[in-house]
Structure 1
Amino acid sequence: MQKKLSVLVVTCALLGLSGCGLFSKSTDESKNVSASKLYADAQDEMSGGHYEAAIKLYEKLESNYPFGTYAAQAQMNIAYAHYKANDQAEALAAVERFIKLHPNHPQVDYMYYLRGLINFNDQLGFMNFIYAQDPTERDPKATRESFAAFKELVDKFPNSKYAADSIARMNYLIDAMASYEVHVANYYYRRGAYLASLNRAQSAVTQFSQANAREEALFLMIRCYDKLGMYDMRDDTQRIFAKNYPDSRFMGGKGSGDAPWWKFWSKWGPEPSPKDALEAPQ
């Protein structure tokens, strides 16, 4: 019995060693894949829209070749792949990690731009396009964060090739924030909370003086002043309104007839990827 037990122990030990050898061989084979091969495979997965598979390959590339030519681009592509997969939290985490690790990278401006895009597109989901929902009815947190990201890009990198697009998006975001204030003001007005409505409308006028929503905010102020019996303020505001918006639709005019400011998706072409932002490493 003792002899049989000894044989069994030895056999198990040999099998364990054999298994370790096989595992090590498998690991070694993975590590022996070249950086260029890993990168090419990851790019193929990305092109096919297989973002999770692409992320795993980019992460393997970064792990196996942390100081290689491809490492920084792999990190950028990881952030972009999470963004395309609609994983906002992981995309933002990857962006922040890249900026922290490579603050002086020649293409770090792209990551600031991507940070803005992640929040910019968060305020308009796919269902919004289908049902034409006005995004001003949603929490403006993503709008504010997107504006801050684009502003940081423009402030830090005024000559960036993404600056002009960022400024254009910032203008729309200003309208978004102003329109949110007007939406809340209308909400209060419909419920008879005229003072609260007036305060939100005034906020839209004073904080976002160039926004398209300023027209409706001024008109709402006129109505609130009237409901509150503040007739002098009503008449003064009405004179300002008539001077600035003589053909306003709110006063019976035809107005501009333009589509709502938030129907902007035809304004821009395809959003650039890190592959466009960086030359592929040789």
Structure 2
Amino acid sequence: MTVRSAPSSRFVRLFCLLLIAAVATTGCKSVGKMFKKDKDADEGQPVEAIYEKAHKAMTNGNWSSAETSFKRLVAQYPYGPYTEQSLIETAYAQYKSGKHDDAVSSIDRFIRTYPTHRNIAYLYYLRGLVNSSRDTVFLQKVWRLDVSRRDLATPMQAYNDFLIVVERYPNSRYAEDARKRMLVLRDTFARHELDASLYYLRRTANVAAADRAKYLLETYPQSRYQNDAVAVLLKAYEGLGNATLAADAKRVLQQNDPSHPALSGDEWPDYPSNLRKLNPFAGEKSAVDNRDKEEAKRKQQ
């Protein structure tokens, strides 16, 4: 009787490798088909159907899905009113999803391509919204950092965007809100100058403090920090021993803000303690913060 020998170990290893390769190939094909199906979901669909799908995603707040569908629409139908509207909606979806750099790029491309579009005022307004929050949302919400103490390049660009809306398109539906946002930004710029003047005042650099305070008053008149700027002038001139200019500043401050703490003998500016600076999680605090809180309470009463 002949006894067959068991398969060699080489044959077993070869069989296992072939089996693994077959399973892997089948799996990869399935995954590939899944991705291809998702990629080609809008392939050959009417432009109206793709737009409706993207718009529905926008309504549901699914910004990423909306952006993807709008881009597919533009790729398949590069011309027409649906395309132009999709480009606008793409920029808005990018803005809402926090893709600020992408949103600005999309807006800039649209403005270059359609400079006389009927919705061009909205594009400038939207760019102002993007630049207002660009590079600041994370700093404010997570670390509680004051925007006025950061780089003001993008807020300044936002101000210019809103200015374009106000000056070029004064009758547009976005002009009034753009004006309001410009006022808020002007206060941000004014506070930046006030913080700088208070920095110099604390270090008894009275000339530099007075110069920054005067710059604030000249550049941002009627800002919410104008009386604080006058108070800085009062303290700086007192520090310089110039009684005449100090008296003038005091007179102006008494006329415009008689309850200002700089006139009541209270300690002003109320600088944050050095101990607070040692706490990395305390957030930033300026000598203006307490003043802002007092004004907010007074308005609520």
Between the aligned residues of both structures, percent identity stands at 29
Distance 1:250 1:164 in 2: 36
2:200/2:209 contact within 8 Å kept:
yes
Residues 132-181 of structure 1 deviation map (CA, whole Å, 9 limit, x = unaligned): 64332222222211111100111110000111111111111111111110
Structure 1 Cα separation of the partners of residues 144 and 135 of structure 2: 13
Work out the number of aligned pairs and report it. Answer: 237
In structure 2, how many angstroms separate the alpha carbons of the residues matched to 1:236 and 1:92?
47
1:212 is paired with a residue whose SS is: coil
1 CA distance for matches of 2:265 and 2:162? 36
Give the corresponding residue for 1:210: 222
Alignment pair present for 1:97 and 2:134? no
Aligned-partner Cα distance in 2 for 1:123–1:238:
39
Partner residue of 1:258? 295
Q: Return the letter of the residue paired with 2:107.
A: V
Q: Does 1:159 align with 2:171?
A: yes
Query: Which of structure 1's runs of 4+ aligned residues deviate more than 4 A?
Result: 25-30, 129-133, 253-257
Matched ranges for 1:59-208 at <5 A? 59-122=71-134, 124-125=136-137, 128-129=140-141, 133-208=145-220
Are 2:42 and 2:50, in contact at CA under 8 Å, matched by a contact in 1?
no
CA RMSD of aligned residues (A): 2.7
Deviation readout 1:92-113 (Å, 9 max, x if unpaired):
1111111111111111111111
Aligned residue number for residue 253 of structure 2: 241
Flag the structure with larger Rg: 2
How much has 1:234 moved relative to structure 2? Answer: 1.3
CA contact (8 A) 1:123 1:135 kept: no
Indicate the SS of the match to 1:139.
Answer: coil
Q: Identify the residue that residue 34 of structure 1 maps to in structure 2.
A: 46
- Alignment partner of 1:49 out of 53, 57, 61: 61
Give 5+ residue unaligned stretches, structure 2: 1-32, 267-290
Q: Which blocks of at least 5 consecutive residues in structure 1 are unaligned? A: 1-21, 261-282
Aligned to 2:24: none
Structure 1 length-normalised TM: 0.76
Distance 1:96 1:127 in 2: 25
Letter matched to residue 193 of structure 1 = A
Aligned counterparts of 2:80 and 2:243: Cα–Cα separation in 1: 72
* 1:193 positional shift: 2.2
Residues 253/227 of structure 1: CA separation in 2 closer, same or farther (3 Å cut):
closer
User: In the TM superposition, what is the alpha-carbon distance from 1:249 to its structure 2 partner?
Assistant: 3.6
TM normalised by structure 2 equals: 0.71
